[in-house]
Amino acid sequence: MTSTMQNKFFVKHKIVRKLLVAAFWLGIWQLIYLTVQQEILIVSPVCVVQRIFELSRDSSFYLTALYSMLRILTGFALGLFIGTVLALLTSASQMMYDIFHPIISIIKSTPVASFIILALVWIQSAHVPAFTSFLMVTPIVWGNVTNGIQKTDKRLLQMAYSYRFGAVKTLKRVYIPSVMPYFTAACTTGLGLAWKAGIAAEVLANTEFSIGGQIYNSKIYIETADLFAWTAVVIVMSVILEWLMIRLMKTVGQKYNVGR
């Protein structure tokens, strides 16, 4: 069997396995629905899919999904930037580490709900989801990037110094390949947490044109089908964005010979 045929076989096998896993859990969901038989508590998978199609016929559905995604991605991007900058500063200076480490520890230890409620007091409700996502992502990025910098091979750094690479070349040839796996892990983990925290903030803030606001309304009016449908939309959007993030990180990693 050639290498190409083996790759195709493994890809097909992987797809079939994932489809079987999905079918298994959908079957469990359907079984629970048939056991409970109270749609106010749980609805069937078929009902949820039908409701998603019904919602998708309204243009406000796409506007709501887009606004939620933009809020969460804004907080995620800010978290990536600030977390990376803080990691560089605290790795370069012990004083900076002593200054910022307590703040990072407080953010990591404080419940998300507390931050959301405090944010509702401090800033406009429309900005709370982005702010909350930013707070959740920053400590993860800071910790992972700092760990990657600290674990950079000292022999490679000595070689770069001996060959007079300079700051830019050392960054490109040594630090980035070393930190990239940690940064990728921070991106994938942080994106998932950004979605969870951002949607939770939208629910508590009842933000206009937001998935969280729709989930809140579904709960208030006891529309279980809508609750499940919007939750499914969140999951699908999160999975797609995480997949795109992984593909992007792989492309960037190949540029810097990461994983080769």
Share of the chain above pLDDT 70, in %: 91
Q: Please provide the average confidence, as pLDDT, over all residues in the chain.
A: 84
pLDDT digits over 29-83, tens only?
Answer: 889 888 888 877 888 888 999 999 998 998 889 999 999 999 999 999 999 999 9
168, 77 contact by CB (below 8 A):
no
Pick from 14, 10, 142, 138: nearest CA to 76? 138
pLDDT for the residue numbered 141: 93
pLDDT for the residue numbered 159: 75
Q: How many CB atoms lie within 10 A of CB 155?
A: 8
The pLDDT of 9-16, averaged and rounded, is 66
pLDDT for the residue numbered 223: 86
The pLDDT of 83-93, averaged and rounded, is 90
125, 206 contact by CB (below 8 A):
yes
Query: Residue 152: is its pLDDT beyond 60?
Result: yes
pLDDT for the residue numbered 260: 45
Pick from 230, 190, 193, 211: nearest CA to 112? 193
pLDDT for the residue numbered 10: 57
